[in-house]
Structure 1
Amino acid sequence: MSTFWADFLYAAANHPFPSMPVDLLSPFDHRNEFIFPNVPAAPGMPCAGEDRSIYRRGARRWRKLYRVNGHIFQAKRFNRRAFCAFCQDRIWGLGRQGFKCIQCKLLVHKKCHKLVQKPCSNEHVDPIEVKDDANGESTLGRASSVRSRAEVEPPLPETPPAPAAAPREELEPGAQRQYSLDDFELIRVIGRGSYAKVLMVELKRTKRVYAMKVIKKALVTDDEDIDWVQTEKHVFETASNHPFLVGLHSCFQTPSRLFFVIEFVRGGDLMFHMQRQRRLPEEHARFYAAEISLALHFLHERGVIYRDLKLDNVLLDHEGHIKLTDYGMCKEGVRPGDTTSTFCGTPNYIAPEILRGEEYGFSVDWWALGVLTYEMLAGRSPFDIAQAADNPDQNTEDYLFQVILEKTIRIPRSLSVKAASVLKGFLNKNPAERLGCGENGFLDIVNHPFFKSIEWEMLEQKQVVPPFKPRLEGERDLANFPPEFTDEPVHLTPDNDTVIADIDQSEFEGFEYVNPLLMSLEDCV
């Protein structure tokens, strides 16, 4: 054997490359610890080979405004008896029943807003409202986008009363439990979003570790924000029944904040690992894409469009299985054939039909899975623009949207034929022809050649060994979480009595909840 090949085999055995073919780098080999070399030279420093071109970007809902005769209308929910300024009839129903001008406060039916003759004066006009003590006070709402069509919302069911907490082993038979902030010890900050902070906490009674999502009520007093918080709670409850979705432990509130206590997933998110690895072996990407597919299919079967699939929201548990989290962008109550039109999502993952202002359904989740799978396999977004950072005209959201709509997606030649085929299937700009959206739906994904090696039933039962197991030294090990979060001080800012006085607490009635599925001490977090 030549010296060259001897040196090569020695190097491969001791320092396997991430791009090494799967048959040379077995997913079950102890050497897979090198797949995610997440040990920086110093805290906060980049790891060797870390690629910052994959970066975190928050999801958004664009405001939806309707401009008529100088008025700027938004869809609103009225908790008082309100009357239309055009036809004088009462505005009634569930959900967002009418429109309100954000300038002069004029109230109208949705059907009447285009008929308003009186121009907007930009001065406040007292709306025609009759107080109804039983229904409380009206609130204003945030709309979504000038880009999207008017979304016809189905009637929203009234929030059911909070389910009774399940009996706990520590309590006497028949006793029930609700939680408060005093029941938890705040340990560390592990994440932060546009309107929420996520903490690692310990339930004092059992010493079990959970994640706690904290939302300030002052940021969600708009009616649509409140609807979205309720939707997130409902989806968290539903997600507790699936192995690849983060489930809910409990919900409670204080006068200033809402608290979701959820499963603590210790392995970090795929964004953290991809920033250190850049790209994954095809076998790894196939495994994660298959588990994500099962999670999305579960949600779709229950009428939920996820709408925010991205590397940040795919977590790895201590065994290496994925769990989707963050249901703040979800749309509930979508029956087969139903569509919606809200312009929302994380810019790099938004499907073309959303950008075109079309009605859409579950297809947008399969597009996002295509983008995420491309990132895992290629180490970059399919819409990366060379030298965009140096060109202000190309480093904008609008230019990115134009690229998503018009650019032909080029598949790297280094990928296998099967991988290229599945990417082309998911990233078809026509949702009717997209993989997962045909007559056979999810079965088309299951039967695709890229997933031929997947044993789907065993995978759903978590009987397939993950290709990578995060290195963890204990239940509280935070080595897989970004230091920009974990280095933050752990505290909640003191309440402001003036801010609390402006919050309509009736909007959050029934928020408290305890999930019986996560109460037993045997359940794994």
Structure 2
Amino acid sequence: MLSDLKTDSELSVNAWPCVLEHPTEPCPGEEKSILHRAAGCCRKLYCANGHTFQAKHFSRRAHCAVCTDRVGGLGCQVYKCTRCKLLVHKKCHQLVTIQCGQHSLPSETTMPVDPSSMASDPAQPLIPRNLSTHAALEQVDEEHEAGNTAESGKASPGFGLQDFDLLSMIGRGSYGKVLLVQLKKSDHLYAMKTVKKELVNTDRIRTEKCILEQASNCPFLVGVHFCFQTESRLFFVLDYVNGGDLLFHMQRQRILHEQHARFYSAEIGLAFNYLHQRGILYRNLKQDNLLLDSEGHIKLTDYCICKEGLQPGDTTSTLCGTPNYLAPEIIRGEDYGFAVDWWTLGVMMYEMMVGESPFHLVESSDNPDQNSNHNLLQVILERKIHIPRCLSVEATSVLKSFLNRDPKERLGCCPQRGFADVQEHGFFQNVDWHRMERKQVAPPFKPNLSGGFGLDNFDPQFTNEPVRLTPVDSDIVRKIDGYEFEGFEYIDCLTMCEEEWV
């Protein structure tokens, strides 16, 4: 036993000269460029012949300093020296003979260049003949990268900022803003969501992009047409839904007729069912995430806190969402599943038909603590939900069924029945679900689109703002490791076919 303990202690070797105070912080004197922001830890370094290599992903044209073949390509991993920026294949990094800091390769590894053959390929960058092979390749590669990542230029083959006219601001969130844009070559209108790279979690961005791609096939979800990036920002080019959000219309109408609430909640239910069938938990329902299209149909947007990859019966435990819409099981710290989405639909339907939240707090200046989020969460857990007598029996029943604090008894949460229980509830008995799913049921309200581009349906506090992208600190941009966002670019094939017919 003692010998085993001794062996274990001999094998305990720290990778760094001292113990890290925190996984996301470097050791004293260590470069911060090796921090992997997406994983929240330090990336591994690989040392060979004086070089300190990091694993990276490149989609640009570059060449290995050892075998001279191209490195990179979408999703392909290469090694790059943190000091001299030498690029090599992962398989070649142990074969490097050039010392770190030198700018020329040994003569036996020099790649012959035929200027005439290269000139015949316009996509191939010319290598200056008066430079050594490695130095020339490095220079061409840097120039190519600079051209691709300019703030006003294309970030990759496809679309870039220069392909769009920025018309108006239509929304703002915690991490970016939403602009109304027009594609120059076709005059089609889109909503462009811009996000600063320095503020985002890369795993969450990839999840949102994946869900946006799937959402394009559902008529009640906002989908994506293009994605591109610059040095400092990510851009999602989305459906432009010009009827405004439900919050904007509720502020004017305050209370909706039961028929209106039935129509909207049925379309929301269809959107939830589409997401749940694909293992996606939405958990972000609120009035400003419900958009109305030009005809008055609902479209859900904002998938930034969605959870994907859930199978029936699977659960998660992350505490997230809008406080007023949090399901009791989330507040209690329990594992939860798709049932939380049906709870949020119950809260939304109550707001539509009653005009206020079922957990509305009366503000009191004498007792500020009464207005805190903590008190709100206690109310969600404990207060008896009051349903006005003016509502019909069916409306009262569906609200009680959705707002059941026991997720196992909640409407829509039966493992065997699921959405079928929602469809067969008395409140929805007159809904033709097949026609509803095909958007063949006339909406009860059609937004006013008399203003230019439909901007009358958006809050003036956004539309009156100047249309511009705020400057980004160049020091912050230099610290952003581009490989974390490799493969972000996306073009929807159906959209491209439509654009080519214009």
Structure 1 length-normalised TM: 0.68
Cα displacement string for residues 161-215 of structure 1 (whole angstroms, at most 9, x for unaligned residues): 59xxxxxxxxxxxxx9611000011110000001110000000110111000000
Q: Give the one of 46, 50, 55 matched to 1:135.
A: 55
Q: Give the one of 442, 447, 464 matched to 1:465.
A: 442
1:198 aligns with 2:178: yes
Q: Give the one of 191, 202, 219 matched to 2:199.
A: 219
The offset of 1:90, in angstroms, is: 10
8 A contact 2:43–2:54 mirrored in 1: no
CA 1:455 to 1:507, structure 2 compared with 1: closer, same or farther past 3 Å? same
The offset of 1:412, in angstroms, is: 1.1
Partner of 2:69: none
Tell me, what secondary structure is at the counterpart of 2:227?
A: strand
Q: Give the one of 88, 105, 108 matched to 2:22.
A: 105
Partner of 1:351: 327
CA 1:130 to 1:234, structure 2 compared with 1: closer, same or farther past 3 Å? closer
Tell me, what secondary structure is at the counterpart of 1:423?
A: helix
Q: Give the one of 292, 299, 302 matched to 2:275.
A: 299
Structure 2 length-normalised TM: 0.71
8 A contact 2:448–2:454 mirrored in 1: no
1:8-19 maps to which residues of 2 (within 5 A)? Answer: none
> Between Structure 1 and Structure 2, whose CA radius of gyration is higher?
2
8 A contact 2:44–2:54 mirrored in 1: no
8 A contact 2:186–2:499 mirrored in 1: no
Q: Give the one of 398, 412, 428 matched to 1:422.
A: 398
Q: Give the one of 478, 481, 506 matched to 2:458.
A: 481
Cα displacement string for residues 243-290 of structure 1 (whole angstroms, at most 9, x for unaligned residues): 000010100000000000000000000000001111100000000000
8 A contact 2:283–2:305 mirrored in 1: yes
Partner of 1:180: 160
Q: Which runs of 5+ in 1 are unaligned?
A: 1-84, 92-100, 108-121, 138-159, 163-175
8 A contact 1:256–1:495 mirrored in 2: yes
Give the Cα–Cα distance (whole angstroms) in 1 for the partners of residues 28 and 234 of structure 2: 32
8 A contact 1:265–1:318 mirrored in 2: yes
Give the Cα–Cα distance (whole angstroms) in 2 for the partners of residues 361 and 87 of structure 1: 42
CA 1:178 to 1:475, structure 2 compared with 1: closer, same or farther past 3 Å? farther
- RMSD of aligned residue pairs (Cα, Å): 2.9
CA 1:254 to 1:415, structure 2 compared with 1: closer, same or farther past 3 Å? same
Partner of 1:210: 190
Give the Cα–Cα distance (whole angstroms) in 2 for the partners of residues 403 and 311 of structure 1: 21
Partner of 1:512: 489
8 A contact 2:223–2:239 mirrored in 1: yes
Tell me, what secondary structure is at the counterpart of 2:457?
A: coil
Partner of 1:25: none
8 A contact 1:246–1:262 mirrored in 2: yes
Give the Cα–Cα distance (whole angstroms) in 2 for the partners of residues 276 and 284 of structure 1: 15
8 A contact 1:304–1:334 mirrored in 2: yes
Tell me, what secondary structure is at the counterpart of 1:344?
A: coil
The offset of 1:521, in angstroms, is: 3.3
- Give the AA of the match of 1:499: I
CA 1:412 to 1:515, structure 2 compared with 1: closer, same or farther past 3 Å? same
RCO greater where, 1 or 2, for CA within 8 Å and sep 6 or more?
1
Tell me, what secondary structure is at the counterpart of 1:197?
A: strand
Higher helix share: 2
CA 1:389 to 1:467, structure 2 compared with 1: closer, same or farther past 3 Å? farther
Give the Cα–Cα distance (whole angstroms) in 2 for the partners of residues 86 and 399 of structure 1: 54
Tell me, what secondary structure is at the counterpart of 2:398?
A: helix
Partner of 2:208: 232
Partner of 1:75: none
Partner of 1:114: none
Q: Give the one of 449, 471, 478 matched to 1:494.
A: 471
- Give the AA of the match of 1:285: A
Partner of 2:431: 454
1:46-65 maps to which residues of 2 (within 5 A)? Answer: none
Identity %: 56
Tell me, what secondary structure is at the counterpart of 2:347?
A: helix
The offset of 1:496, in angstroms, is: 2.6
Give the Cα–Cα distance (whole angstroms) in 2 for the partners of residues 425 and 461 of structure 1: 27
The offset of 1:477, in angstroms, is: 2.0
CA 1:415 to 1:506, structure 2 compared with 1: closer, same or farther past 3 Å? same
CA 1:218 to 1:129, structure 2 compared with 1: closer, same or farther past 3 Å? closer
The offset of 1:473, in angstroms, is: 2.0
8 A contact 2:285–2:341 mirrored in 1: yes
Cα displacement string for residues 286-335 of structure 1 (whole angstroms, at most 9, x for unaligned residues): 00000000001000000100010111100000000000000001001111
Give the Cα–Cα distance (whole angstroms) in 2 for the partners of residues 355 and 466 of structure 1: 35
